[in-house]
Structure 1
């Protein structure tokens, strides 16, 4: 995918977020969690991360059933980790039904050492 296409694709993903992504974004936007800035549908290399906190080197992915045991997700996570990111994955159902528990896990990940991506 060419750079301009990736930006267009990310923009389209922002407009068509799932219910779970909307719920999580409500809690992550405007530096609402620990004062950390999150970007939604943020391009990273050949991928588009659901949510990325660049300053803390954290990516949060929200997955549905199509992602169970996905080798593509393993490659994606490996790529993101090779770029210095920590990756958290949550199921849509967990985000919708156990939002507080998901936010606690994200909070704990943000509280860990700050990662420099220079």
Structure 2
């Protein structure tokens, strides 16, 4: 199965929080790191991924309520693929985009 049509559909139908975060990370605006949206990794589509930093940013909205086990398994799979995973609630992205950008920026910085 070709994941590209599904990824394109997901990009066309973004949530407000995804639009806000994309405005922050697109075009190497965050520390010069390139992010991509709706990236197929294993059997999932990561909301945002930076291959150079091996970082995935996942946004959790109403569809994630009562799906903690699913999200836990998803995070474990992404981590086994070599990615660090950051999760943010949609409401936080909309209320404090600067704080979310700072948290992502901190995760992108090399660890001592």
Please, what TM-score do these two structures have when normalized by structure 1?
A: 0.90
Select the residue among 40, 46, 49 that pairs with 1:49. 46
SS at match of 1:42: strand
CA distance in 2, matches of 1:14, 1:66: 17
CA distance in 1, matches of 2:65, 2:55: 21
- What is residue 112 of structure 1 aligned with on the other side? 110
Counterpart for residue 31 of structure 2: 34
Unmatched 5+ residue regions in structure 1? 114-118
Could you tell me which runs of 5 or more consecutive residues in structure 2 were left unpaired when the two chains were aligned. none
**Matched residues in 2 for 1:106 and 1:92: separation?**
15
Moved segments of 4+, more than 3 Å: none
Q: CA deviation at 1:63?
A: 1.0
SS in structure 2 of the partner of residue 62 of structure 1 = strand
Q: CA deviation at 1:28?
A: 0.4
1:22, distance to aligned residue in structure 2 (A)? 0.3
**Equivalence for 1:65:** 62
**Could you tell me how far apart the structure 1 residues matched to 2:65 and 2:16 are?**
19
User: Is 1:25 paired with 2:22?
Assistant: yes
Work out whether 1:100 is the aligned partner of 2:98.
yes
Give the length in aligned residue pairs: 110
